[in-house]
Structure 1
Amino acid sequence: MGILTVADRYEARDRLRLLHALQPPVPAQIDARFVLCNVTGDEHRILVALEIMLYHDIIVLNCSENMNSGKTYAYFSALPELLSGEQEAPTTSPSGGSRGRTCTGATSIPPARRTPLHEGMGYVLSWDLVRWIASTNVTRNNTAGPEDALVGEWLRAGGRGKNVYSTQGARLNYDDTKPVMYDFPYPPWSFVPNTIAVHRLKDRKKWATTLRYFNATRGLKPSKFYHLLN
């Protein structure tokens, strides 16, 4: 799982690490990495280096930091070499502002439809598509543009991505069995139990509201050392 972000978003990375560590075990092995371009500024070089030493979950690409000017291509084109010798598996790219429920997401994709997938706020690509992105001129000659739209352009231009499974939610107040992902809901919309990801969590209050709905602190045991947390 590659999460495209920038060097100074330390709090966001720590929050995602915390949530990932506290989720229930899943039947799949989830390897999450934060993806940066070249780190500039002495303070970031030191602090990011410390993160790498402790967590081993950061990839630093050889590119100038950007969001829509080639970082997506730099990431996917580097993966075959970075992961050479590793077991091939679907590669995901969720938004850094999304809360993904790994315990649900890892089991929500029908086994017969695990290749290839695409979604704007988070998407999964099969490994053959990653190798294709790294080797074709279709992508090499078209590297600028919004990440999600750009990946869609590549797949259409190359005649790829024909086996698609969408989890885009309609943000309606109903309970369904289909896994869905959607933007942070404002009234009259609300969260639904079958959620696998919530997008646009831009501040702590939205994070707290989302985590409260999904009962993220249910494992907190009573103690005389802390009060008023429940």
Structure 2
Amino acid sequence: MKATRADRGRFIISSFVFICFLCALASINEVRYDSLLKFGRCALANINMPCKLNASTSNTLLAQSSSSDDEIRILFGILTLPDQYQRRHFLRLIYGTQTPVGAKVDVKFVFCNLTKEDQKVLVALEIMRYDDIIILNCQENMNKGKTYTYFSSLPEMFNDKEGPNPPYHYVMKTDDDAYFRLQSLVDSLKPLPREDLYYGYVIPCPSMDPFVHYMSGMGYLISWDIVEWIKESDIPKNQLEGPEDKIFGNWMRDGHRAKNRFNAKWSMYNFPEPPTRCTHELWPDTIAVHLLKNQEKWIRTLKYFNVTDNLKPSKLYHIP
């Protein structure tokens, strides 16, 4: 009987010690368990509803997986005019059918303030349907500061404390007569720095040195830290008028910016006709083709790159 009572006492003490150990272990791992539980609830919830996680949860999940950090974020700004409705719809087809791997590319159409009643209606409908338009607080112009307004407005527009930092690694400025192959662009950016970068097609055409002059307006890309510098520095503010892409190069020179420069020539080039020193024939190793001023040039370019090869077969249509 005494032995039984002694065994029972030892069992009670052992159980108590074990329970204390479990409590201590749970306390040490409280943040991890709480994070996993909350993440699990989010994963099982409606996938169309965003999951809001607290700071400790976000940090824990970030530590567990860094794959999202490897994805390049690009704001792809196409400078155009409010009345260019058909061109925007066409470019939505061009870029909406491209799905680059390893990057998140947000294509936006950029222009200045609306001035007509029809614009206020039609552009508003576009925004409601596509949500891909940025309207700058400026009057439309070519060489009087639109580029400055574009870049300097972005930090405030995308100031989201709950979003990624920076919101984009790179910002592109291009024209609506240029065709970019987004996967080729992304692949060329992967080995490059994400700070103090200035990327594009070096002008003048024969030059291969990105530190001599500036990048062509067919399309150039800068890192987010340069975007922030443009907003804060007095150097761009004091040089607004003149050929904007050349003026941009002056900002980089005078501000001692863009120590990392990448010349994408000859993967970027003008359409081969008419032939100039800035052109060559279409070829597979292409990032961008510029000066597609009419439908014929667009169709020739798109056919060369076989952009409809992935068209799924269906009984609903027949395209020979």
TM-score, normalisation: structure 2: 0.65
Count of residues in correspondence between the two structures: 219
Q: 1:68: how far off?
A: 1.4
Tell me how large the CA RMSD over aligned residues is: 1.7
Matched, 1:194 2:269: no
Q: Distance in 2 between matches of 1:150 and 1:57?
A: 27
Q: 1:224: how far off?
A: 5.4
The partner residue of 2:268 within 181, 186, 209 is: 181
Residue aligning to 1:212:
303
Deviates more, 1:185-194 or 1:24-33: 185-194
Distance (whole Å) between structure 2 residues aligned to residue 46 and residue 67 of structure 1 = 25
Partner in structure 2 of residue 52 of structure 1: 127
2:198 is matched with which residue?
117
Matched residue SS, 2:173: strand
The amino acid that maps onto 1:19 is: I
Identity of aligned residues (%): 47
- 1:173 — aligned with what? none
The answer for the alignment partner of 1:155 in structure 2 is 252
Shift of 1:79: 0.7
Question: CA offsets, 1:50-100, max 9 Å, x none?
Answer: 001111110111111112111111111111100112432111112221000
Aligned equivalents of 1:152, 1:57: Cα separation in 2: 28
- Name the structure 2 match of 1:3: 78
The ranges of structure 1 where at least 4 consecutive aligned residues each deviate by more than 2 angstroms after the TM superposition are: 110-115, 186-189, 220-227
Higher helix share: 2
Pair 1:224–1:187, CA change in 2 (3 A): farther
Structure 2 residue identity aligned to 1:34: F
1:185 CA displacement: 1.1
RCO comparison, higher one (Cα < 8 Å, 6+) = 1
State the alpha-carbon separation in 2 of the partners of residues 91 and 155 from structure 1: 15
What is the deviation of 1:24? Answer: 3.3
Classify the secondary structure of the residue corresponding to 2:260.
coil
Give the CA deviation at 1:122. Answer: 0.8
d(CA) in 1 for partners of 2:268 and 2:135?
Answer: 28
The aligned runs of 1:2-81 (5 Å cut-off) are 2-81=77-156
Give the distance between the partners of 2:294 and 2:274, measured in 1 at CA. 18
| Structure 1 letter corresponding to 2:87 | A
